[in-house]
Structure 1
Amino acid sequence: MTIEIIPNWHPILVHFTIALLSVSVVLFLAESFVRKWKLHIQLVTVARWNLWLGSLAAIATVIAGFDAFNSVAHGSEAQHLAMLDHRNWALSTAALFIVLAIWSLSSSLRGKADFRRSKNLVFVSLMAVAGLMLTATGYKGAELVYRHGLGVIPMQVGMTAGHNHSDGGAEQGEGEGHDMKMDMSMEGGEHDEGSESSHEDTGDHQH
């Protein structure tokens, strides 16, 4: 059985990238305020692993993004410009996170994972900038789908032919209303006949 991914793997991979890198940014920001606590070491460890794994996911996401950029059909200039804008933001954001991941990994391998206060301030500040860039990139990517409709299969025309809320629905409603009126008139006729017969019976009884 062939697994069909619509439109490609990019929408799947990007969620792991955003989740891992967002958690990393939040934990690195948090650990800068609790450097004297025992919890600090755990926060740094988890933050580093999220950064490393998120950067690997970012590489896979960028590769899938290039495939999407070259394969997803787009027919307007606005859609093309939106794709270029999202691509540029994604490449810049991924590059910054990868540089920070290499910096963090190399320091960990040298046994200096816990930066000094001045170096840690620079590192955390860059992580915050990268987090803001990640937010902007995700927003622009969402606009490609929900504003410009890229990568979305259009609704089949046949679906509206059998169930139309404008013309067909109105005609159907009129037909149902007409049938209801007919039923009510028939019921009313039966009632009138019953009334006439009751009046005749009453008249006969009075005579």
Structure 2
Amino acid sequence: MRSRFSIRGHPLHPLLVTAPIGLLTWAFIADIVYLASGKADVWYDISFWSGVAGIVTALVAAIPGFGDYLSVALYSDARVMATAHLALNLTVVGLYAVAAAFAADEGATRGADLGIVVALHAVGVALLAVSGALGGEMVYRHHLAVIPDDAEHEVSERRHHRVPLLR
């Protein structure tokens, strides 16, 4: 299946997801460095702004992703997988949005709020990894948003062609 949202045949969603994956992961890493560094303010700021940028870029990446989602056949294994991928990513964005709300308050640099922010980021990164694995499965197993190679398609067709039984 070709992507509905592509530039010269190259699907946009896989290109765009690299930014939020990196930014959201970096926000969690910055949390760890913040705690390990004796709470240097710069790492708190890096975590906060990386999380916010990750939310924004995730929503941008979701636009072509949702367009591709709508083209997946209903009642198929790929649709179930795509729905789980969508739900996980929306959950991740929600977790990071709640974390950003807690982190926007300077009180989150210490105490229970800081623990909540770090926990939300940790769960978010774990869910992001699961969602990424599902995204990879959709591409590699179900061939969603790929450009079929005509020669490979012909070989595959010959390999899977059913020969009628001779009677």
TM-score interval, normalised by the smaller of the two chains: 0.7 to 0.9
Taking a change above 3 Å as real, the CA distance of residues 122 and 102 of structure 1, as seen in their structure-2 partners, is closer
Please give the alpha-carbon distance, in whole angstroms, between the structure 1 residues aligned to 2:110 and 2:23: 25
Instruction: Report if the CA contact (8 A) 2:28-2:47 is conserved.
Output: yes
TM-score, length-scaled by structure 1: 0.64
Hey, what does 1:12 align to over in structure 2?
15
Displacement, 1:145?
Answer: 0.4
TM-score, length-scaled by structure 2: 0.77
Paired residue type of 1:27: A
Instruction: Report if the CA contact (8 A) 2:85-2:131 is conserved.
Output: yes
Q: Which has the higher contact order (CA 8 A, sep 6+)?
A: 2
Please give the alpha-carbon distance, in whole angstroms, between the structure 2 residues aligned to 1:158 and 1:150: 16
Structure 1's unaligned 5+ residue stretches are 162-207
Hey, what does 2:43 align to over in structure 1?
43
Instruction: Report if the CA contact (8 A) 2:99-2:121 is conserved.
Output: yes
Instruction: Report if the CA contact (8 A) 2:17-2:61 is conserved.
Output: yes
% identical equivalent positions: 25
Moved segments of 4+, more than 3 Å:
5-8, 73-76, 157-161
Structure 2's unaligned 5+ residue stretches are 1-5, 156-167
CA RMSD in angstroms, aligned pairs only = 2.6
Is 1:146 equivalent to 2:124 in the alignment? no
Q: 1:128 aligns with which of 122, 131, 152?
A: 122
Displacement, 1:76?
Answer: 7.2
Taking a change above 3 Å as real, the CA distance of residues 91 and 114 of structure 1, as seen in their structure-2 partners, is closer
* Higher gyration radius (CA): 1
> Across the two proteins, how many residue pairs are aligned to each other?
151
